[in-house]
Amino acid sequence: MEHLDASVIQQNLLRYIVAQIGPKSAIQAICDALHINKSSAYNRLNGAKRLDLEELALLVNTFRVPLEELLLPETRQGLFRLDTVGQQFRTGREHLEQVLANFEHFSKAGDFNLRLCTDELSYFQCMHFRELALFKLFTYANINWQLPYTVSMKFDPDRFPEYGLYDDLMVPILNHYNRIPTEEIWTDGIYDNILKQIVYFEESGQIAGSGIVRLLYEQLEQLCAHQFDMATEGRKCAFSPRRSHTKPAGGAFDLYYNSMAPVGITLLAESERLQGVFLVFDDPNFMFVGDSQFFQYTQNWMANLRKKCIKISREAEGARRRYFEQIGARIRSRGK
C-alpha cells in the first residue's frame, strides 16, 4: 500500500472522478464544483496546486466519492458504499430524501437509464397512488425501521404522521422514475408481499377500518391495469383513472417475465458520467457499489437472465395478458 498523505488523497480523489466521468468531462465538472477556471482545475489535477479542506469536501459531496476510494483505492473491489444499510432512520423523510438525491445525482450526469430485477412490487410503482404509497411507507416504518410512532398506530392515510411526504418527495421521485427509460425483469409473485402485508396489518388490527383495506386492494387492481397499459405501449406514463393517457408519455418501459430464476431486488443505474449497482437489503434499505468490475458483472448477469425471460412489453400480447390476469386474480381473491 502506498504511503498515505494529503497528495495521495488528492490523487486518489481526482483519479476516481476522472474514471467515473472521463477526462474531458472531469475538467469542466471540477470547474463547476469549485467555481474555478480550467487552468486552476488542471493545476489541481496534475498536483501543482493542493486542494484545501473545503475543496476536498465539495468534490467528495458533489461526486459522492466513497471514503475507501480516497484511502484504499487498491482494495475497492471488496468494498461497498453503504447508503442506508446500518443507518437508523428516525423518519421516513430521511430515507426518501436519499432516494430522491440518488435520482437527481444520476439524472444530472445525463442520459440516465435504469435496469431493475425484482421479485417485489417496486416502491416507485406504488407512488402512483397516495394511499398505497403511504401504506408501503407505514410497513417500512413498522417492520424494517421499527419507528416508535408505529407501535400502537392504526394506519389511516389521512392521519398518517408523514402524510405530507407524498407531495414533497414521493411525487418528485415518481416523476424521475417515469421520465427515465427502464428495463425491468419481474417474477409472477411481485404482488405477493404487499398482499400479505395488507392481510397481516388488517388481522392485527393496525388498519383503521375495512374501507381503507378495500381502497388498498382497489388501488392495487388499478395499478395492475396501469402496468398492463404501460407494458402494451412500452412506455411509462402517469396514472389516469380513465386509463386514457392524456399526459405526455415518459421513458421507455421494457418488461420481461422471469418464470424460474430466484432473484432479490437489484438496480443497475447508468448515466453518461456515472454508473453503479444498488443492492436492496432489508427492503427498502440499500447498498451502492460503484466498482466498475462489479457493475460489468451485474450487467452480464442481467443480460444472461433476460435471455431466459419472456419479453411482455409491446410483443407477446398473449403472454402479457396471462401474466397480468394472473396477478389481478390474486388481488381480487385477497380483496373479497
Per-residue pLDDT band for 76 (boundaries 50, 70, 90) equals very low
With a pLDDT cut of 90, the percent of the chain lying above it is 56
pLDDT at 326: 96
Per-residue pLDDT band for 79 (boundaries 50, 70, 90) equals very low
pLDDT at 1: 42
Q: Is the pLDDT at 82 greater than 90, yes or no?
A: no
Measuring CA to CA, which residue among 31, 181, 22 is closest to residue 109?
A: 22
Per-residue pLDDT band for 197 (boundaries 50, 70, 90) equals very high
Measuring CA to CA, which residue among 309, 302, 323 is closest to residue 231?
A: 323
Q: Which residue has the cell 444498488?
A: 278
Q: What does the pLDDT average to over 66-70?
A: 68
More confident of the two residues 238 and 272: 238
Question: Which domains can be identified in the chain, with CATH numbers?
Answer: 6-75 (1.10.260), 92-335 (no CATH)
Measuring CA to CA, which residue among 282, 288, 229 is closest to residue 81?
A: 288
More confident of the two residues 21 and 127: 127
Q: What does the pLDDT average to over 146-150?
A: 89
Among 198-207, 220-229, 239-248, 285-294, the range scoring the smallest mean pLDDT is 239-248
β-bridge mates for residue 322, sequence order: none
Please give the DSSP secondary-structure letter assigned to residue 63.
T
Among 1-15, 68-82, 148-162, 172-186, the range scoring the smallest mean pLDDT is 68-82
Q: What does the pLDDT average to over 14-19?
A: 80
pLDDT tens per residue, range 285-336 = 888 887 778 889 999 999 999 999 999 999 889 999 999 999 999 999 987 6
Q: Is the pLDDT at 3 greater than 60, yes or no?
A: no
3-class state of residue 186 by DSSP: strand
pLDDT at 242: 66
Q: Is the pLDDT at 209 greater than 80, yes or no?
A: yes
pLDDT tens per residue, range 161-176 = 999 999 999 999 999 9
Which three cell numbers mark 259?
Answer: 418464470
pLDDT at 330: 94
Query: Is 136:123 a contact under the CB 8 Å cutoff?
Result: yes
Among 10-24, 98-112, 198-212, 239-253, the range scoring the smallest mean pLDDT is 239-253
pLDDT at 80: 41
Average pLDDT, the chain: 87
3-class state of residue 153 by DSSP: coil
Q: Is the pLDDT at 2 greater than 60, yes or no?
A: no
Per-residue pLDDT band for 182 (boundaries 50, 70, 90) equals very high
Q: How far is CA 4 from the centre of its chain?
A: 35
Question: pTM to 2 decimals?
Answer: 0.77
